[in-house]
Amino acid sequence: MGPMRWGDAADEDEGIEGVLPPMQVMGPDEKGVKIIIEWRKKEDGSKVKVTTTVRVKKQVKRLNPAVIRRRSLKKFGDAVGQNSSENLTVVSTEEIFLERFRPVGQQGAKQEEKGADLASLGNASLIVCRTCGKKGDHWTSKCPFKELAANRGFNIGGEKPPGDDDMGMSSSSGPGGKASYVPPSMRMGSKGDGESMRKGRDDNSIRVTNLSEDTREQDLQELFRPFGSISRIYVAFDRDTGLSRGFAFINFVNREDAVRAINKLDGYGYDNLILRVEWATPRTDRA
Amino acid sequence: MRPILLKGHERPLTFLKYNRDGDLLFSCAKDHNPTVWYSHNGDRLGTYRGHNGAVWCCDVSRHTERLITGSADQSANIWDVETGAKLHTFGFESPARAVDFAEGDKLCVISTDPFIGAPSEIHVKRVEKDHSKQSSESLFVIKGPTGRINRAVWGPLNKTIISAGEDCLVRMWDAETGKLIKQSDPDAGHQKVVSSLAKSADGSHFITGSHDKSAKLWDIRTLEVLKTYSTERPVNAAAISPLLDHVVIGGGQDASQVTMSDRRAGKFEAKFFHKIYEEEIGGVKGHFGPINALAFNTDGRSFSSGGEDGYVRIHHFDADYYHIKM
């Protein structure tokens, strides 16, 4: 049967029943739910009842009359004049989050023991980081600000920590900085064997591959944070295109957290891709 | 959230204040021009020109008609909010520090710094609706505390005046006679300079921030310490959310130490604490220097911070802020 034509309905056997019932609208009720019932006829003549349920939500923004009046006030003082207020108000390009704080003591108790730390601190419940001064969060040797502390001692530009993509504040070149280069192994806080630079990178470092292109540090932070405190997240970006290259490195403060993250997230579906999570390879002494 | 950055001041911020309707934000800085901004989009409405020194504090009347500012040029000015016209100048012998309109805007309290031998003072002045009748006479002057009085505010029903400052104590004065009613217990209170004081929306309690690295919540009638929020740096500013049981405190290392270290080490965050449980909720980063001023919008849906770096940052909260579980 071809498309319906005018007058067809009357010719059909159903007679008057062939006419589509009118659209019905019920509601919105007190919950704002509105039900719309429509009838359609398909090309083959069968009738279809379409029920659409809609929730109607009214968003009211109340503005005080005084506020509305003040919106159109004349500018005064230094704000008068052309372009005088230009560039004064900028919306940050950087997304700022309310960074959640992890309660103290959640993991402080099961920290890996290190003789020197224990000796100097005495009481295990009184963990105070000598580098950043934070209490109960981590041991001095595990401080995420470790490299920074080394910089503070000498005011020499250390390596720029990855992921420091914001605002271009260089972390180095303090006032009266010494002119000569001091290798990392000679800086304060280093153990002298060039280990400190590598250590922060290699310790409990895991590699995440097969990430989608629009995964950002923040996403990984959310994904991996539940396993334990993270000291570094590095997402590789293509220098030319600015797109993610699909892999990232994440350093956990604790090795156990890293193990758990690997066990849980290797093969995890994330953003329609299957993640691969493994230990970062370049570590010769891995057992 | 993407904060709105206001770069109107050339010197460190000292104070921020929203008007009662929450549509305007007043900022004071060590440059000489208090500024008013639209709080929803950060547009600058105007500046109040006429001070000749750092401006330490301001207050705006209930219906956003008058602004009062206290400045280091030894004066406190009353301005017309909407035109920026200076209506009256109270002259003092020393820099004016804290200012506050009383409920009803018929009185104001102004504190002055100790200066060349003169002690700090708290002045109470009458504010006339018709500014041509305004007199500079003080109704009375309170003397007694040593050191600066960093904040002086009115208590409930204008019956008391609460002051706090460099001598670490919070004091309650009779607002009619100027007599000392009560002062805080030195052991329970702050151990170092009290840098800020902000009342709750209903005025039943207030929060103080101190260089002893803590902020405390006080009952405004009994001067009892209700809660203590400890942090790891000196507190320069504190504010109480009018919407949720949150307080926000800000600070950082000494301004003189800022250039010596990386900005991440300075901890220039605005820290959120749960008002009741005293637990830290989280931090909002962004400033390049210590935070000197904090204020919640009166609807509790945004807050702004002013830093030593000269920026004001207005933060409108994301939706998930309202569902934070402790």
d(CA B290, CA B234): 9
Share of chain A above pLDDT 90, in %: 2
Q: Residue A131 and residue A151: Cα distance in Å, rounded?
A: 11
Using a cut of 0.80, tell me whether the model's pTM lies above it.
no
How far apart (Å, rounded) are the C-alpha atoms in residues B124 and B134? 13
Mean pLDDT of chain A: 70
Exposure string of B288-325, with b = 16+ CB inside 10 Å and e = fewer, is: bbbbbbbbbbbebbbbbbbbbbbbbbbbbbeeebeeee
In degrees and rounded to multiples of 5, residue B267 shows phi and psi of 55, 60
Closest CB from A70, A79, A145 relative to B265: A145
Are A139 and A111 within 8 A, CB to CB?
Answer: yes
Give me B103's structure tokens.
């409920």
Mean pLDDT over residues A60-85, rounded?
A: 83
What distance in Å separates residue A206's CA from the closest CA in chain B?
Answer: 24
pLDDT at B5 over 90: yes
CA B81 to chain A, closest CA, distance in angstroms equals 10
Bigger pLDDT: B71 or B264? Answer: B71
Mean pLDDT across A142-155: 55
How far, in Å, CA of A50 to CA of B172, rounded? 70
Calculate mean pLDDT across residues A131-152.
Answer: 63
Q: Name the strands in the sheet holding B180-183, side by side, starting at the edge strand that comes first in the sequence.
A: B149-154, B160-165, B170-174, B180-183
Quickly tell me which residue has 């758990």 as its tokens: A260
Record the tokens describing residue B238, joined without a space: 């504190």
pLDDT, position A85? 60
Which of A142-146, B119-123, B243-247 shows the lowest mean pLDDT across its residues?
A: A142-146
Residue A242, pLDDT > 80, answer no
pLDDT tens digits for range A196-214: 455 555 678 889 988 888 8
Cβ contacts (< 8 Å) between A152 and chain B: which residues?
260-262, 265
- Bridge partners (DSSP) listed for residue B18: B25
Check whether A263 has a pLDDT greater than 60: yes
d(CA B110, CA B82) in angstroms, rounded, equals 22
pLDDT in tens, B279-298: 999 999 888 889 999 999 99
Q: What is the pLDDT of residue B233?
A: 86
Q: What is the pLDDT of residue A229?
A: 86
A202 to chain B, minimum CA–CA distance in Å?
Answer: 22
Local confidence band at B317 (pLDDT 50, 70, 90 cut-offs): very high
What is the architecture of the domain spanning B4-323?
Answer: 7 Propeller (2.130)
- At position A163, the amino acid (one-letter code) is G
Residue A82 token pair: 């052309």
Average pLDDT over residues B189-198: 94
Which has more pLDDT, B238 or A97? B238
The beta-carbon neighbor of B279 closest among A79, A103, A132 is A103
End-to-end CA distance of chain B: 21
Please determine, for residue A49, whether its predicted confidence score (pLDDT) is greater than 80. yes
- Residue type (1 letter), A229: S
Whether residue A124 has pLDDT greater than 60:
no
pLDDT score at B254: 67
- pLDDT top residue among A86 and B11: B11
Among the ranges given (A45-54, A146-155, B55-64, B165-174), the one the predictor scored with the smallest mean pLDDT? A146-155
C-alpha pair distances (Å), B257 with each of A175, B265, B266: 11, 11, 9
Q: Which residues pair with B280 in a beta bridge?
A: B273
Average pLDDT of the residues in A99-117:
48
Output A1 or A109, whichever has higher pLDDT.
A1
Which pLDDT score, from 0 to 100, does residue A282 have?
A: 63
What is d(CA B101, CA A257) in angstroms, rounded to the nearest whole number?
Answer: 55
pLDDT number for residue B236: 93
Mean pLDDT of all residues in A206-235:
86
- CB contacts of B79 in chain A (<8 Å) are none
On the question of pLDDT at A111 being above 70, the answer is no
| Backbone phi and psi for residue B108, each to the nearest 5 degrees, phi listed first | -145, 155
Check CB contact of A132 with chain B, cutoff 8 Å. Answer: yes
Handedness of CA A140, A144, A145, A146 (dihedral sign): positive
| Among B188, B135, B124, CA closest to B159 | B124
What are the structure tokens assigned to B294, written together? 């904090």
Among B44, B260, B305, B318, the residue to mutate for chain A (most A Cβ within 10 A): B44
What domains lie within chain A, and their CATH numbers? Answer: 6-55 (no CATH), 108-279 (3.30.70.330)
Q: Whats the size of chain B, residue-wise?
A: 326
What is the pLDDT confidence band of residue A257, given thresholds at 50, 70 and 90? Answer: confident
Sheet holding B205-210, edge to edge: B194-199, B205-210, B214-219, B225-230
Q: How far apart are CA B203 and CA B182, in angstroms?
A: 18
Q: Are A129 and A139 in contact (CB under 8 A)?
A: yes
Decide if pLDDT at A16 tops 70.
no
For A163-197, give one letter per residue: b (16+ CB within 10 A) or e: eeeeeeeebeebeeeeeeebebeebebbeeeeebb
The CA distance from A100 to B83, in Å, is 42
Q: Please give the span between the terminal C-alpha atoms of chain A, in angstroms, as a whole number.
A: 76
Whether residue A6 lies within 8 A of chain B, CB to CB, comes out as: no
At B231-241, the pLDDT tens digits run: 988 999 999 99
HEC readout, chain A: CCCCCCCHHHHCCCHHHHCCCCCEEECCCCCCEEEEEEEEECCCCCEEEEEEEEECCCCCCCCCHHHHHHHCCCCEHHHCCCCCCCCCEEECCCCCCCEECCCCCCCHHHCCCCHHHHHHHCCCCCCECCCCCCECCCCHHHCCCHHHHHHHHHCCCCCCCCCCCCCCCCCCCCCCCCCCCCCHHHCCCCCCCCHHHHHHHHCCEEEEECCCCCCCHHHHHHHHHHHCCEEEEEEEECCCCCCEEEEEEEEECCHHHHHHHHHHHCCCEECCEECEEEECCCCCCCC
**Chain A contact set for B260 (CB, 8 A):** 152, 174-175
* A242 at interface of B, judged by CB pairs closer than 8 A: no
Kindly state the average pLDDT of the residues A106-126: 42
Which range has the worst mean pLDDT, A54-68, A116-130, A223-237?
Answer: A116-130
In whole angstroms, give the CA distance from residue B36 to residue A10. 73
* Tokens linked to A238: 């293509």
